[in-house]
Structure 1
């Protein structure tokens, strides 16, 4: 007897909280650009980083890993993450959402341990050490630190998770190579540099910048994306997104090395968003067509319109970073608005493609049924 599939709707419900965190996080980002100043929405700005990194990135990754773990206790992670999003948006004392997010990431760490016990790989180890950074970030943030102070730890989480997933998804290219052990060592060094940042901020930050460059260069040399760029349709699309992401990670490392750690202002904006928009969001664009299939059993079918939000994202980010370096406020706002528009366009495109693909499949099934009835 075939094993009954688990219901999808609870996954969709929990994933919805990550989506809400993304939307409100982008709204908060717009307030930081100076839009809606003097309105009640302006207060959202202080929660921008937490909503985007803990609520959205952490929620999406936690959901994906929970589904892969296939064990009931792992669902405590996504539930805790959803609770963190709700309490943060409800205005609860920061310690409340921070505690919920910390629990969510601790459960994610336990999931990595479970997966590593089933099959020990460098890719899972790399993803697991990223949890060290994000737990440090949530605890410090819950204790009252500004998000700007914990950015390096959030970066450790995002970079380690995505690089580890690339090692896992493209295991044919990575497994057994010198690059695999080198990347693992570099990510471990990145964690160590983030811990050094706590006591020697400028030295730790510069070391992290150098390591971000090294991680990107070593990974892209082995990643299958370099070959897939010559393929067609979806493989080419994912390759373009990934290669652009690696490029932005290198750019971020150069910014970190060249200008050092800043807590606010244009240089801080350029350094942070080169990682989280240029690298992280570009990689999300690349992997979303596959990841959604595993989580909600609805994959995003390829269509050339997927390139529109990608082009908008990177064009907006180029404008934003150049404006940051030149302290050009008007262009900086324009670049930020384009970034938000790119993410919204991607979400709208994905939903449309999934919906129309479902209608096409239903139409094909009905046509087959009619042909069978005539025989």
Structure 2
């Protein structure tokens, strides 16, 4: 029975992986590079694929497993449907309905979790779902994904900050820092609603809050101490500290720009939060979260630093080029980002497969002894 549930989890998680691969290819098409027809055709869906399909899909899967109740599986099921509809070119409103049902179920999961464990971090994560639901609705109504991006950013920031506390990596449980971060994240959700009515004001306030949240969280995060350790703790800490740095950069960019689509500074403002902050946090927690979700170990190896470093290097090149309106640098940075993300994915798969093979070999040797 357990093996069936593991296969069940891997099946739904695969839709997030598919979204990532197609989304990365679509991103290369947006950079003006020659790509296979599938990726070129999905260039306009790059944002929905990466945010609704990959990032939100991974969060939905992790929270579903943590909820441990049968009806929670409606969230990954509706998410998988949304991904299929998105890739197949179904009407946008139909796709939005599937994603809304998935994220609404995610909200219900947080309500159940809160009844079991009434903590501020659960409140923060639950409030963050307002952002992703608003983002889907905004996209469905306008047909333009760009106005939906700030709303989705609220979701990822609130979710990740909340999970940092939940995973007991922040030294703030039941403390004034816990209350402060909760208040800041709730203010961020409120600012996203202001953005809907007054975009320039909302963006400026959200940018200021991103900066303050980054400074407040990094000050109390145990990553500051763990970065001086070795092995996996040091790797995770380095990724987390880099993520906080990129969140601070995001805040500065959002406060200083008008977030105008078509401008390269817009590209910088978007990818600082979704690559710099979000992917860094995913890299940091992958060796811990993956075993919990699919019961497959992802052992640490120092080689993981290589693709992570490539992602950050590419993002630095990209953002510096964006601020200088240097298109070749913008393209180069984007390509390095894609290579780094794919490199991390490939490295993780190889490490997981090798670990599983070693485990089976030991089991066979033990049974034959």
Shorter-normalised TM-score: what interval?
Answer: over 0.9
Whether contact under 8 Å (1:201, 1:261) holds in the other structure is: no
- 1:114-172 alpha-carbon deviations (Å, 9 max, x no partner): 00001101111111001001101111111134111111100000100111100111266
Distance 2:142 2:78 in 1: 20
* Residue 40 of structure 1: how far off its partner (Å): 6.2
Q: Is the alpha carbon distance of 1:101 and 1:4 closer, same or farther for their aligned partners in structure 2, counting shifts above 3 Å?
A: closer
Whether contact under 8 Å (2:92, 2:143) holds in the other structure is: no
Match of 1:307 among 291, 305, 312: 305
- Number of the residue aligned with 2:200: 202
* Runs of 4+ residues deviating >6 angstroms: none
Report the 3-state secondary structure (helix = DSSP H, G, I; strand = E; otherwise coil) of the residue aligned with 1:198. helix
Distance 2:36 2:283 in 1: 34
* Residue 369 of structure 1: how far off its partner (Å): 4.1
* Residue 198 of structure 1: how far off its partner (Å): 1.2
Match of 2:352 among 317, 330, 354: 354
Distance 2:364 2:111 in 1: 46
TM-score normalised according to structure 1 size:
0.95
Distance 2:230 2:201 in 1: 44
* Residue 38 of structure 1: how far off its partner (Å): 11
Match of 1:165 among 163, 170, 175: 163
Report the 3-state secondary structure (helix = DSSP H, G, I; strand = E; otherwise coil) of the residue aligned with 1:35. coil
Match of 1:14 among 12, 15, 22: 12
Distance 1:43 1:356 in 2: 36
TM-score normalised according to structure 2 size:
0.97
Matched length: 369
Q: Is the alpha carbon distance of 1:52 and 1:40 closer, same or farther for their aligned partners in structure 2, counting shifts above 3 Å?
A: closer
- Number of the residue aligned with 2:21: 23
Distance 2:364 2:219 in 1: 47
Distance 2:355 2:272 in 1: 33
Q: Is the alpha carbon distance of 1:183 and 1:269 closer, same or farther for their aligned partners in structure 2, counting shifts above 3 Å?
A: same
* Mapped pair 1:337 → 2:321: no
Report the 3-state secondary structure (helix = DSSP H, G, I; strand = E; otherwise coil) of the residue aligned with 1:291. helix
- Which structure 1 residue ranges, 5 or more long, are not aligned? none
* Residue 4 of structure 1: how far off its partner (Å): 6.0
Distance 1:51 1:172 in 2: 31
* Residue 183 of structure 1: how far off its partner (Å): 0.4
* Residue 5 of structure 1: how far off its partner (Å): 7.0
* Mapped pair 1:46 → 2:56: no
Report the 3-state secondary structure (helix = DSSP H, G, I; strand = E; otherwise coil) of the residue aligned with 1:210. helix
Distance 1:48 1:255 in 2: 21
Report the 3-state secondary structure (helix = DSSP H, G, I; strand = E; otherwise coil) of the residue aligned with 1:60. helix
Compare CA radii of gyration and give the structure with the larger one: 1
Distance 1:281 1:171 in 2: 18
Distance 2:169 2:124 in 1: 13
* Residue 58 of structure 1: how far off its partner (Å): 1.0
Q: Is the alpha carbon distance of 1:5 and 1:356 closer, same or farther for their aligned partners in structure 2, counting shifts above 3 Å?
A: closer
Match of 1:62 among 49, 60, 63: 60
Whether contact under 8 Å (2:310, 2:340) holds in the other structure is: yes
Distance 2:37 2:295 in 1: 40
Distance 2:52 2:359 in 1: 36
Q: Is the alpha carbon distance of 1:146 and 1:339 closer, same or farther for their aligned partners in structure 2, counting shifts above 3 Å?
A: same
Q: CA RMSD in A?
A: 1.5
- Which structure 2 residue ranges, 5 or more long, are not aligned? none
* Residue 308 of structure 1: how far off its partner (Å): 0.7
- Number of the residue aligned with 1:225: 223
Whether contact under 8 Å (2:297, 2:356) holds in the other structure is: no
* Residue 299 of structure 1: how far off its partner (Å): 2.2
Whether contact under 8 Å (1:149, 1:263) holds in the other structure is: no
Distance 2:3 2:176 in 1: 40
